[in-house]
Amino acid sequence: MSVDPTNSISTPTSAASTQQRDNTSLDKDSFLKILVGQMQNMDPMSASSQDPTQSVTQMTQFSILEQLQNMATSSSDALNAQKQTQSLALLGKTVNYKDADKNSVSGVVQKVDFGTDGTTKLTLDSGVQITPSDVLGVQ
């Protein structure tokens, strides 16, 4: 029986990745509704009708756009999972970092916390919390 180690990883969504949409932009659902309505009202036998190849071109372009959006989402999810994996790999390791006074300090990573806002905190044996970007080196 094989076990997928990434199956149980859940990536928190960050507030920065959530986009605020205004009412002037057209999302893909609205675009599809307009396209379906246009196709329902199209008369292919009419001389004044839109060229059918234009409709196919529009559908193809939309399909490409949707796949690019899906790839961007998948890439973002994979990046978040990779960051989490790298942070978890620091458990039990001694890391070097700069404290608030810019002194080089080291400590053993005792705990890794993933915030709902997408942040990651490493708790050291001294009780100090740092972010993975604060780490200067691993011993």
Structural domain boundaries of the chain? 26-41+51-88, 94-138
Confidence (pLDDT) at 4: 43
Secondary element (H or E) of residue 71: helix 52-88
Q: What angle do CA 69, 16, 6 make, to 5 degrees?
A: 65
Tokens of 95: 């890391």
Between 49-53, 91-95, 112-116, the lowest mean confidence (pLDDT) is in 49-53
pLDDT tens for 49-68 read 666 677 678 778 888 888 99
Give kind and range of the element (H or E) at residue 104: strand 104-114
Specify the pLDDT at position 74. 93
CA distance 130 to 139: 16
Euclidean distance between CA atoms 121 and 61, whole angstroms: 42
CB contact at 8 A, 99 and 105: yes
pTM for the model: 0.54
Residue 10, Cα to own-chain centre: how many angstroms? Answer: 11
- For the segment 112-135, the average pLDDT, to the nearest whole number, is 90
Between 2-6, 48-52, 67-71, the lowest mean confidence (pLDDT) is in: 2-6
Angle at 58 between CA 19 and CA 38, to 5 degrees: 95
Whole-number average pLDDT of the chain: 78
Q: In the prediction, which pLDDT does 88 show?
A: 93
